[in-house]
Amino acid sequence: MPARPLTDDVAPAALTVEVAAWFGADGRDLPWRRTRDPWAVLVSELMLQQTGVARVEPRFHAFLARFPTPGTCAAAPAGDVVEEWRGLGYNRRAVNLHRCARAVVDEHDGRLPTDLDALLALPGVGPYTARAVLAFAAETPVGVLDVNVTRALSRLLGRAVTQADADGLAAVADAAAPGGAWAWNQGAMELGATVCRPRPRCEACPAAGRCAWWASGLAGDDPWPRPRRQSRFEGSDRQGRGRLVDALRAGPVAAADLPVVMGWPADRERAARVAATLVADGLAVVDDAGTWRLP
């Protein structure tokens, strides 16, 4: 299968227009796609990391109703943010969001910056999240390269893609039409999430005619560089941590109750060790009497 460079050989302008048009006609109507508020976009992106749309959508509305701005989030105790994060998992993201909100208030007068370096300097904001805020809030022509986009573009070009590929296509889309970079990024993400899935539905793909893997008859190895599989959740320390945070959302937990709450009634040592990691991560506090609470 010949790998394709990101040049006019793959007609990138036509590609971006086609995918953007397909997204405009068939893309899902999701609430974070109706806003250009950087805070709302940031909240949605952190919620959507390793969590499905169906779980995120109702929590997104509830979270923004309670914390509509970085200032309201920063003014609340971290425990309130963790409490509002219920049902989403990966609770450290809630703590990171709270720390980010405080930094935005302290360093940017309560307004989320729309500059890549400034975004990257915020707690909990990595390269993907920073570019997502720029692309989806400020409509900046940068490429958003999550696992879904990576899969779609790798198959299209017949090789593992780079950030330069994503940025290049976003720049082409921006030049092709007003708002083109926003529509292209949303479309590429939607394409990977709904059509170019691990088991692709190539017959439904608006870019099939430009796809190197499709042209090969899906011969050879899938060009998508599959992410490393996460370790088993059932019985893991992560599961015990999650159980304790869920219990703390309902109220304080006595130290003696930790093993039962965390699912290891016969292993006090493990419960104490894993519970201590929540304190280190800012997800829990423990008082002198040994009572555990949200921060």
Q: Average pLDDT, whole number, for the chain?
A: 93
Residues 167/169/170/175 CA torsion (nearest 10 deg): 130
Token output for 162: 């780079």
Residues 60 and 198 in one domain: no
Contact 212, 1 (CB under 8 A): yes
Residues 180 and 96 in one domain: no
Dist CA 179 CA 210 (whole Å) = 23
Residues 168 and 47 in one domain: no
Residues 250 and 285 in one domain: yes
| Domain boundary, last residue among 109, 136, 163 | 136
Dist CA 238 CA 234 (whole Å) = 9
Domain CATH for 146 = 1.10.1670.10
Domain CATH for 78 = 1.10.340.30
Residues 132 and 144 in one domain: no
Counting the structural domains of the chain, the total is 3
Is 67 within the bounds of a domain?
Answer: yes
Is 149 within the bounds of a domain?
Answer: yes
Contact 13, 208 (CB under 8 A): no
Q: What is the mean pLDDT of residues 89-96?
A: 93
Is 70 within the bounds of a domain?
Answer: yes
Residues 184 and 42 in one domain: no
Question: In angstroms, what CA-CA distances link 199 with 152, 157, 202, 220?
Answer: 11, 18, 9, 15
Q: What is the pLDDT of residue 92?
A: 94
| Helix or strand run (H / E) with residue 291 | strand 291-293
Residues 14 and 160 in one domain: yes
Structure confidence at residue 247 as a pLDDT band (50, 70, 90):
very high
**199: containing domain:** 8-29+140-215
Structure confidence at residue 201 as a pLDDT band (50, 70, 90):
very high
Structure confidence at residue 8 as a pLDDT band (50, 70, 90):
very low
Q: Mind listing the pLDDT tens digit for each residue in 121-157?
A: 999 999 999 999 999 999 999 999 999 999 999 999 9
Inform me whether the pLDDT recorded for 232 exceeds 90.
no
Is 117 within the bounds of a domain?
Answer: yes
Is 145 within the bounds of a domain?
Answer: yes
Q: What is the pLDDT of residue 5?
A: 54
Is 224 within the bounds of a domain?
Answer: no
Residues 45 and 85 in one domain: yes
Lowest mean pLDDT among 10-24, 50-64, 90-104, 174-188: 10-24
Residues 79 and 208 in one domain: no
Residue among 18, 45, 57, 269 flagged as catalytic: 45
Residue with the two structure tokens 């304080």: 252
Active site residue 107: no
Residues 42 and 124 in one domain: yes
Dist CA 111 CA 37 (whole Å) = 10
**Helix/strand/coil for 236:** coil
Residues 244 and 194 in one domain: no
Q: What is the pLDDT of residue 174?
A: 95
| Domain boundary, last residue among 136, 168, 197 | 136
